[in-house]
Structure 1
Amino acid sequence: MNTLRTVFPTLFGNKLQLAFRRSASQTPIEKTHWDAIIIGGGHNGLVSAAYLAKKGAKVLVLERRKVLGGAAVTEELIPGFQFSRASYVQSLLRPQIVKELKLSKHGYSVLARNPSSFTPLSDGKKYLFLSPDVEFCKEQISKFSIEDAMRYPQYLHWLSKLCRLVEPFFDEAPYDALYNDISSLSLAERWSSSRAGFHLLRESLSSRKEMTEFFELLFSNSSKMLKRWFHSEPLLSTLATDSVIGTMAGPDTPGTGYVLLHHVLGGDWSYVKGGMGSLSESLASVAIEAGAVIQTDTPVKSILVDEIQRKVKGVETLDGQSILGRCVLSNADPKRTFLTLCPKGSLPDNFVSKIQNLDFRSPVFKINVALKKLPHFRCFPKRQTFEGEPTTLAAGPEHKGTIHLGSDNLDMIEKAYKDCSAHHRPSAVPIVEMTIPSAIDPTLAPRGQAVAGLFVQYVPYNAPWEDVNFKKAFVDRVFSMVEDYAPGFIESIIGYDALSPKDLERVFGLTEGNIFHGSMSLDQLYSLRPAAGYSRYRTPISGLYLCGSGAHPGGGVSGAPGRNCSKVVLRDLKRNAEGASLQMALSFWRR
């Protein structure tokens, strides 16, 4: 077990990482009664830990892996190559978290991507770049449609207005009409839940057109909404990828309009300098500085519950330690939290039924690749190389953003989805989001070499991934697909790490490999996430909270569930402390 208590920097693998040592005077964690025990050291758990510790709570974080960060990790899978092994880009992290926790002072830094998107077509000749520079985008889009190029700035303005409607809901616990004890909510809680509603009401009165379009987008499919704006490919398909990423759905599936909106809420996507693990390290640094204790390599076996009072007591670790605490926050997904960690019989039957029937289908297969050189795409002529290294291509605009492969048009994406969903097999022609972060962050790979991430859809969870030959055949199919766009790619591979949905479940604890801790469909959002009556981070067990992506507002590296949950926990801890003081006073006077 590694206890993260005292932090100091050390140079490791061309990357400044946090190293941790155990304080000799530290009290054993099992002999301390904690205010809050957090299950899982993913980014949301670390956000909660930081906020709670900064308010003086005695906080313990228990992470099952030796590596801290959950899915937001940087790992040296191949010597000299640092990979963002699971999540790989950032834009959704709430700006309040960056400011309030002063993350930049703890090493957090982002690297802008310009161009942000590159879609080469399978003919090997045409391509589309998109960028934060609107004029550059208009120039690129005009290669396919001058009319679409002129409409693109209007589309961005329209999206930004819709984002303003939904964004206030991200930063508060949802209003939940079925919450079992609304009368117990403090005035501050009632106001915070109503504030977003008042915002929506005000906007509906002042901009009825936008409100109508907002609700239409929520319930519509992305292809329908995008076709109202544009007519040309690959612009349509490039924009549509944001509506299906990580989702077992195609552009024609109702509800993908909201997924599109969710993925543009944070603005431009960027790389985290040093990989996604640097974000987790920064959060851990804040939490530890505030007094939190973080222990890695410590799987939690079960949540301890007083079943008579239906109240949490603490946790039991896999090695048999019982650790007591006033409350427990689970950063694990809802199915793992309630169906695996909670004792049988400790939860109401109707609640268990709701959790059992949550949609956790995942289409994701992730491949991390170490490359001898940057790939050269057929649609570009040979360009400048590094001086003295004539075989090594210099990084170009095509290497800096997200590279969309197999996405020439909307039909290709829809066909890949239906091929998987209808036949319960990996798509014959999958869609691939390829990123090469070392093109911008040279600390991730040796000079002249590269790290690449391939985020692949669509694959079913129940395919025979345990069969080494089956899994390798799919990986080879993906590599062959990349080779079609960038000849020489396969020859340049030094090594790779392939993660099927079952691997994502095994390594990162993501049930069915779902990166969002459950589908982002409309029946699993806002006051329905994870279940009606329990969307305010509290659960049927008093003192047990859900702080991960399975809670509102859902998946992505936003930190919003962790921040929102910590506010609820702090209110409850204060209320309980005040209640205990009152009970002590009453007991004294009765004597």
Structure 2
Amino acid sequence: MSDVDAIVIGAGHNGLTAGTMLARDGQNVLVLEKTNWAGGMAATKELFKGYKHSVGAWAMIVLHQEMIDLLEVEKFGFETIVPETSYCVYGEPEDKCFIAYNDPITMANKLAEDHGPDAMRALFDFFQYMRIFGKVADKERLKAPDAIEKLIAEAEDVETREALQRLCHASAMDIIRDYFPDPDKHRTIQGSLAAMSIDGTHMGPYTPGSATSMAFHYTASDAMNVFKLPVGGIGALSEALVRALEAEGGEVRYKAQVKRLLIEDGKAVGVELRSGEKITAKVVLSSIDANTTFLKLAGEEHLPAPFNEKVKEIDYRNGYIQVHMTLKEEPEFTGHLAFTNEDKLKWLMAYIPSADHVSKCWNEYKNGQIPEDPLAYCYFPSMIDPTVAPAGYHTATLFSHYFPYDTPKDRLREDAAIMADRAIEQIARYAPNFRDSIVDKLVLTHNYFEKTFGITGGDFCHGLIEPGQMFASRPVPGHADYRTPIDNLYMCGAACHPGPGVTCVPGYNSARAVIADLAGKEGELVAAQ
């Protein structure tokens, strides 16, 4: 007899979602977490006494209200804040800022006012084009997905088919230029669109295939381009899920690192912890990436050679830095950004001066160089959510793409500090008090996330957002239904369809596959409930 019905490896939001759904189905669930906190790469941590920082993911950009309702996390203390704006993208003084207002009417009026009616129409036409991808992706969201080429071939009409073909294989700039043909006009708008194409990729905006990431980012949510902040930081979702799991009789065990999977006669029967303890289960679900799950925890000897080769081909090259800071005062912007000091417009400032600037940073990165003039997203969550900092003080987190992925370990700290300083300067040159306001600072790279969570390459996507790694090819072709070549072993994290972001969908879908199999409905996902 097994010790438990189900073991879930990893207490991130997907692992906890899977565990909660299984516990609701009456299964005895044990979630094993390597660290001593919940949330994985979307956790709230007290990096500095009295302050809460969102480590890893930081905003609810792609979480559907449907999932919030299905998981009932609001009953367990989860709540979000929707600010007036999602971000303010800025560049040089001669360029108007691009501000993403969350109310569509306000957005349209401000776009027309700041950038002209032509820019307003172009951007809204662009978003309509993105929705072609979104409509198809949404149909695939709560099921084992079809292959991209099948989705294209079965499109409802020629126009949709041609659009999907481009959105899945063209470069982001191929699409952007359809709506913004002049690279010297509306540069901050173009920069913002281009930046969406590089998040979670090893690409630049002119790289074929980069349109996929752009379309994914703009359409994965049920409210396009709207950022929501969880009260108390990003980890509030996982903390609510822990309470939901425990209310159903499930358990989370912390500081319980899995050393290997226990496999007998081609079936997963449990795990062995680093401590040497063995725990048996009817099923095992892994919310960590495919490389770690199959090649390290399971072992190649338990898997077909062709499958192992597919796993080895997954691209995890995702270089970035995240800088967490405490501040003794708010930044005061000057010059062409002085207006952002009003109405909390400055809560998220993004230095993305143009699409070509994004491309310049990509070219430096792919040549192993730290970008000379890096992109920078800096947000100040305490301006929106006062629970994350002591009264009169503030938190700030800066994110920058394109920290050289292959930086030697003996140079990581030095090079990360160089890039962090360059990124901080993008804020400080327009907010003269910013540097002096910094009290504490911690610079994290992808290497930190790899070491802390055992995630290959520290890739927060668990496999990049590229055409060959999405839909039926996620995590590898032939295994997009959350099942694996090892019986009773399932995948339930961002490595699975629909991919990265705080969505809870991979965990939800995986639990449905397990429930179907336990009920004798192998090969199906049970109906959403």
2:233 aligned with 1:275: yes
Aligned partners of 2:514, 2:143: CA distance in 1, in Å?
Answer: 13
2:344 pairs with one of 397, 401, 404: 397
Aligned partners of 1:521, 1:282: CA distance in 2, in Å?
Answer: 32
Give a deviation string over 1:206-249, Cα, whole Å, max 9, x none: x5423321222111111111121124211111122222123221
Aligned partners of 1:542, 1:519: CA distance in 2, in Å?
Answer: 26
**Corresponding residue of 2:312:** 356
Whether contact under 8 Å (2:462, 2:494) holds in the other structure is yes
Whether contact under 8 Å (1:130, 1:140) holds in the other structure is no
Shift of 1:322: 0.3
Shift of 1:344: 4.2
Whether contact under 8 Å (1:364, 1:513) holds in the other structure is no
**Corresponding residue of 2:164:** 214
Aligned partners of 1:428, 1:515: CA distance in 2, in Å?
Answer: 24
Amino acid at match of 2:507: G
Whether contact under 8 Å (2:132, 2:164) holds in the other structure is no
Aligned partners of 1:469, 1:531: CA distance in 2, in Å?
Answer: 36
Deviates more, 1:372-381 or 1:537-546: 372-381
Query: Relative to structure 1, is the Cα distance of residues 233 and 139 closer, same or farther in structure 2, using a 3 angstrom cutoff?
Result: farther
Query: Relative to structure 1, is the Cα distance of residues 166 and 335 closer, same or farther in structure 2, using a 3 angstrom cutoff?
Result: same
Instruction: Kindly report which structure 2 residues correspond to 1:135-534, keeping only aligned pairs within 5 A, or say none.
Output: 135-142=105-112, 143-175=114-146, 201=154, 204-205=155-156, 207-230=157-180, 231=182, 232-264=186-218, 265-266=220-221, 267=223, 268-306=226-264, 309-379=265-335, 396-400=343-347, 402-405=348-351, 407-421=352-366, 423-467=367-411, 468-534=413-479
Aligned partners of 1:163, 1:469: CA distance in 2, in Å?
Answer: 41
The runs of 4+ residues in structure 1 deviating greater than 6 Å are: none
Query: Relative to structure 1, is the Cα distance of residues 531 and 103 closer, same or farther in structure 2, using a 3 angstrom cutoff?
Result: same
**Corresponding residue of 1:21:** none
Aligned partners of 2:22, 2:409: CA distance in 1, in Å?
Answer: 40
Shift of 1:45: 0.3
Give a deviation string over 1:501-535, Cα, whole Å, max 9, x none: 11121123221121100111111111111111222
Whether contact under 8 Å (2:321, 2:446) holds in the other structure is yes
Aligned partners of 2:335, 2:111: CA distance in 1, in Å?
Answer: 16
Amino acid at match of 1:229: Y
Unmatched runs of 5 consecutive residues or more in structure 1? 1-30, 178-195, 384-392, 578-591
Aligned partners of 1:381, 1:338: CA distance in 2, in Å?
Answer: 49
Amino acid at match of 2:251: V
Q: Give the length in aligned residue pairs.
A: 511
TM-score by length of 2: 0.91
Whether contact under 8 Å (1:40, 1:332) holds in the other structure is yes
Whether contact under 8 Å (1:122, 1:485) holds in the other structure is no
Whether contact under 8 Å (2:133, 2:167) holds in the other structure is no
**Corresponding residue of 2:525:** none
Deviates more, 1:149-158 or 1:267-276: 149-158
Query: Relative to structure 1, is the Cα distance of residues 415 and 496 closer, same or farther in structure 2, using a 3 angstrom cutoff?
Result: same
Deviates more, 1:431-440 or 1:52-61: 431-440
Q: Which has the larger radius of gyration?
A: 1
Query: Relative to structure 1, is the Cα distance of residues 398 and 269 closer, same or farther in structure 2, using a 3 angstrom cutoff?
Result: same
Aligned partners of 1:343, 1:438: CA distance in 2, in Å?
Answer: 45
Deviates more, 1:147-156 or 1:556-565: 147-156
SS of alignment partner, residue 153 of structure 1: helix
Amino acid at match of 1:157: Q
Whether contact under 8 Å (1:247, 1:519) holds in the other structure is yes
SS of alignment partner, residue 398 of structure 2: strand
Shift of 1:151: 3.1
Shift of 1:444: 0.7
**Corresponding residue of 1:92:** 62
1:52 pairs with one of 22, 32, 36: 22
Query: Relative to structure 1, is the Cα distance of residues 522 and 157 closer, same or farther in structure 2, using a 3 angstrom cutoff?
Result: closer
Whether contact under 8 Å (2:446, 2:458) holds in the other structure is yes
Unmatched runs of 5 consecutive residues or more in structure 2? 523-529
Query: Relative to structure 1, is the Cα distance of residues 355 and 112 closer, same or farther in structure 2, using a 3 angstrom cutoff?
Result: same
Aligned partners of 1:103, 1:211: CA distance in 2, in Å?
Answer: 38
1:546 pairs with one of 463, 482, 491: 491
Whether contact under 8 Å (2:13, 2:504) holds in the other structure is yes
Aligned partners of 1:173, 1:539: CA distance in 2, in Å?
Answer: 13
Shift of 1:465: 4.5
Identity of aligned pairs, percent?
28
Shift of 1:165: 2.3
**Corresponding residue of 1:102:** 72
Amino acid at match of 1:269: F
SS of alignment partner, residue 178 of structure 2: helix
Amino acid at match of 1:443: T
TM-score by length of 1: 0.82
Whether contact under 8 Å (1:124, 1:378) holds in the other structure is no
Shift of 1:493: 0.6
